[in-house]
Structure 1
Amino acid sequence: MKHFDALVIGSGQAGTPLAIQMAHAGYTTALIEKRAVGGTCINDGCIPSKSLIASAKTAYTVAHAPELGIYNTDAFRVHFNEIIERKRGIVSRFRNGSERSLEKTSNLELIMGIAAFSGDKEVTVTGIDGRQQVLTADYIFINTGARPFIPPLPGLEESGYLTSTSVMELDELPQHLIILGAGYVSLEMGQAFRRFGSQVTLIESKSHILDKEDEDIRQAVAGFLEEEGITLLTDARVEEVSRNSKQDIVLRIEKNGIPAIVTGSHLLVAAGRQPNSDILQPEKAGIIPDAHGYIKVNDRLETSADRIFALGDANGGPAFTHISYNDYRIVYRNLVEGASLSTKDRIVPYCMFTDPELGRVGLTEKEARAKGLRIKVARLEMEKATRGIIDHKPKGLLKAIVDEDSGKILGAALLCNNGGEIMSVLQMAMVAGFSYEQVKEHMFAHPTLSESLNNLFFSLEL
């Protein structure tokens, strides 16, 4: 049995910086990782997927270059294997950088293996060779993340499927990629593979895509995806999965109560994620997960067990890299620096990296109305925005939710080229407490995308 001051389980975007900073602060620290340093973001999520999306966006730009007067581009080819190799190189660069940061940190030990609680403040780690070691600590920090949820569909396991991880390790481009689910990952990957040349069909059991977004945003996204040739099947439930004599994937579905068959070369299951808490066995440390397996925490990220914290996807909060990193900052500053930070009322931004991009922050219109708030809604179609016209990027819209009484900005959805960047401008305005009038009257450089915020809020006065 070996004792540490601090034990961090999982090397994601909270675990790695937390372990390093705890060690710098004088705590003897161990960081346990079961697979690869960097967590989901570096190895399976943000970094690799956005690398593929960058290649797909370039393919689309070249294919549509004649619209801007550039010709002789119709013979371009997609070398899918080179796209995958580029992605792997980028992942390795980030992962190696994290590993080097850990290696050069004194007072910190990286332990590779699968961790599970075996008692109060006690963790048993099973290494790759099967050997076990028992570790104890004064403080334990859980950053175990989540994994793809695989629904219990008849025939799915036998027929084989791809996940958001394995789809980015394919040796060849799918002829017809079927995707279960129509959330952020599904739409990003669906558009990317369509732009590479795959036929793409998305199957969603609900009546619409992007369940958390407003209806006008959903319709706009569905519109440009269908315009690119992606088939969206909503109100469609998969009854059974199988393979035919040609080894194609065959899905027996029911759409609007009518039986149908969908056949493709590959199947990507992107039906959400589930926490890895079942592997961790938190009950043995006195921690009871919620009904979905997430570890419950208070607004200081403390679990029900003394001096045990849960950060990132493990605690069921918004599943974004920046949220995980912000969790680390809250825990570290409270514990080591004596701050009094919490997750209460923090403004959550996020992006969906389709093209155009969706940058989102704060409340949606439907959330604001459900709360009974008195609001005004500002809208500007990108086809009327100066930068949208200049760059030949007319798809999408800008939308902001404003408190009718105070004029404060409550939320925004920026569906446009580089939507995440302009979203960050409004996020800063919200943090500063600016009213929409202050943004409307602010002088932005011309002709920038941010300048469109003037016209967005001017629409409230028309």
Structure 2
Amino acid sequence: MKQSFDAIIVGAGQAGPSLAGRLTQAGWTVAIVERKLFGGTCVNNGCTPTKAMVASAHAAHIARRGSDFGVIRREPVSVDMKQVLARKDAIVMKSRTGIESWLRGMERCTVFTGTARFVSPNEIRVGDEVIHAKNIFLNVGARPAVPDMPGVHEVPFLTSTTVLDLDELPQHLIVVGGSYVGLEFAQMYRRFGAEVTVVERKARIIPNEDHDLSSGVQEILQSEGIQLRLDANCIRLENDGEGVAIGLDCLEGHPRVVGSRILLAVGRRPNTDDLGLAAAGVRTDERGYITADDQLQTSVAGIWALGDCNGRGAFTHTSYNDFEIVADNLLDKALRRVSDRIPVSALYIDPPLAQVGLTEIQVRESGRAALIGTRPMTKVGRAVEKGESQGFMKILVDAESKKILGAAILGTGGDEAIHCILSTMYAGAPYTTLSHAVHIHPTVSELIPTMLQSMTPLR
């Protein structure tokens, strides 16, 4: 017998459970479908586990630097990977079970476990059951991409998901991909004690970011002994006795890197392959992302796409904001749009790189008159006192409107301090609102007003 609901939510990632809670509170009956792990990428193989492991790696790093702070250690620092994973798993399990329990105990919410597939624009099959609703929300997420490069079918490799279950320390980890995911794992495993080489096909790491940020991150990683192979074309995976290797053509360096493990960190692909989208008439782009408008409605009325599967953002915070946009527009008759949000992201190496708004490259390309301010972290008292003065901060301001265009902080606490800039931008206030503010000393954010007070024209 077909069951009918006011709404069906496919996927219990960041947007799905919160949307279920909001809709049921409004009196809607909701079916939520999850085929594997409640909590989605963030909880199970993204933010939560990786940041837990980053914390363990940071602890090892600080322990090795004990003498810098007057702390004497008697024995070399070693890392027990099984304990690292046990700590990570406990944190993940608490979040996962919490979300599942919340959904299963939610009034007017029915949980289905299994793979969802469209039968028609208003019907979805889950196992032997068919469920119906006038409103369907797709929150199916994404997974690591595995490119069809030479050797990928013959040589064992890890992805950002499978590496999270690696309970032994590789002697030499080769990371293919020099962007956000690859660099976080590279530094993490270097601090755990592995030799690490990062292979990037472009001329610099995080190639989509400003050159000074790329150089700053490269300096930090190389200072910890991470090897970088850039301009790596024709990357191929190879077996090498009991180990593995990467063959590559670079402008300089040996054409082969031999290691014990390979991690592929070369992007993600949406989980839209087996949804049966054609049966509903839902369109996707050439990469498989569901096309959605500024209010996240798909090509079919009554179907929305939220989170990583819509190609409108690849972060937990953008997924959650997708939920807020959809819920407010549906229930409160609001007119919220994806285009209203300010781009914001963070690369969680240590120290982190946080960015908001436009990059310097984008400001230059716009041709507008702008001001720029910069400060090295060596001028930030809080950073010096903590013994973590690597990096810098910069900010860009429109010369006519005096509004902040964008900013970046590569440095300790930057992922938190940058939010005062973000809040000023959302308020639509001129930069003087922030430059005249009195911040607590000693903090990282107290240098932001000083930076704004000494800006110069962007040339």
Alignment check: 8 A CA contact 1:439 1:454 kept: yes
C-alpha distance in 2, partners of 1:388/1:316?
36
Q: Within 5 Å, which residues of 2 pair with 1:269-280?
A: 269-280=264-275
C-alpha distance in 2, partners of 1:161/1:238?
17
Alignment check: 8 A CA contact 1:201 1:230 kept: yes
Q: Within 5 Å, which residues of 2 pair with 1:7-406?
A: 7-72=8-73, 74-126=75-127, 132-246=128-242, 248-256=243-251, 260-406=255-401
User: How large is the Cα RMSD of the aligned pairs?
Assistant: 1.5
Q: Deviations over 1:390-432 (max 9, x none)?
A: 2111100001111111221111101110111011111111111
1:129 is aligned to: none
Tell me the SS of whatever aligns to 1:158. coil
Shift in CA distance, 172/233, structure 1 to aligned 2, threshold 3 Å: same
Q: Deviations over 1:59-95 (max 9, x none)?
A: 1111112112221255232111100100000000101
State the Cα distance separating 1:350 from its structure 2 match. 1.4
Does 2:447 align with 1:452? yes
Shift in CA distance, 374/103, structure 1 to aligned 2, threshold 3 Å: same
State the Cα distance separating 1:388 from its structure 2 match. 1.8
C-alpha distance in 1, partners of 2:333/2:448?
39
State the Cα distance separating 1:258 from its structure 2 match. 7.7
Alignment check: 8 A CA contact 2:371 2:456 kept: no
State the Cα distance separating 1:435 from its structure 2 match. 2.1
Tell me the SS of whatever aligns to 1:221. helix
Shift in CA distance, 374/345, structure 1 to aligned 2, threshold 3 Å: farther
Shift in CA distance, 73/62, structure 1 to aligned 2, threshold 3 Å: farther
For structure 1, list consecutive stretches of 5 or more residues without a partner in the other structure. 127-131
Runs of 4+ aligned structure 1 residues displaced above 6 Å come to none
Pick which of 275-284 and 355-364 moved more: 275-284
Letter paired with 2:289: Y
Alignment check: 8 A CA contact 1:241 1:249 kept: yes
State the Cα distance separating 1:436 from its structure 2 match. 2.2
Alignment check: 8 A CA contact 1:62 1:73 kept: no
C-alpha distance in 2, partners of 1:385/1:245?
50
User: How many residue pairs align between the two structures?
Assistant: 456
Letter paired with 1:119: S
C-alpha distance in 1, partners of 2:415/2:252?
38
For structure 2, list consecutive stretches of 5 or more residues without a partner in the other structure. none
Q: Deviations over 1:313-338 (max 9, x none)?
A: 11101200011001101111111222
State the Cα distance separating 1:378 from its structure 2 match. 0.8
Alignment check: 8 A CA contact 2:373 2:456 kept: no
C-alpha distance in 1, partners of 2:456/2:96?
50
Percent sequence identity over aligned pairs: 39
Pick which of 299-308 and 430-439 moved more: 430-439
Q: Give TM-score, length-normalised by structure 2.
A: 0.97
C-alpha distance in 2, partners of 1:459/1:232?
35
Q: Deviations over 1:338-374 (max 9, x none)?
A: 2221112311221111111111110000011112221
Alignment check: 8 A CA contact 1:403 1:409 kept: yes
C-alpha distance in 2, partners of 1:73/1:283?
64
Pick which of 21-30 and 268-277 moved more: 21-30
State the Cα distance separating 1:286 from its structure 2 match. 1.0
State the Cα distance separating 1:259 from its structure 2 match. 6.8
Q: Give TM-score, length-normalised by structure 1.
A: 0.96
Letter paired with 1:357: P
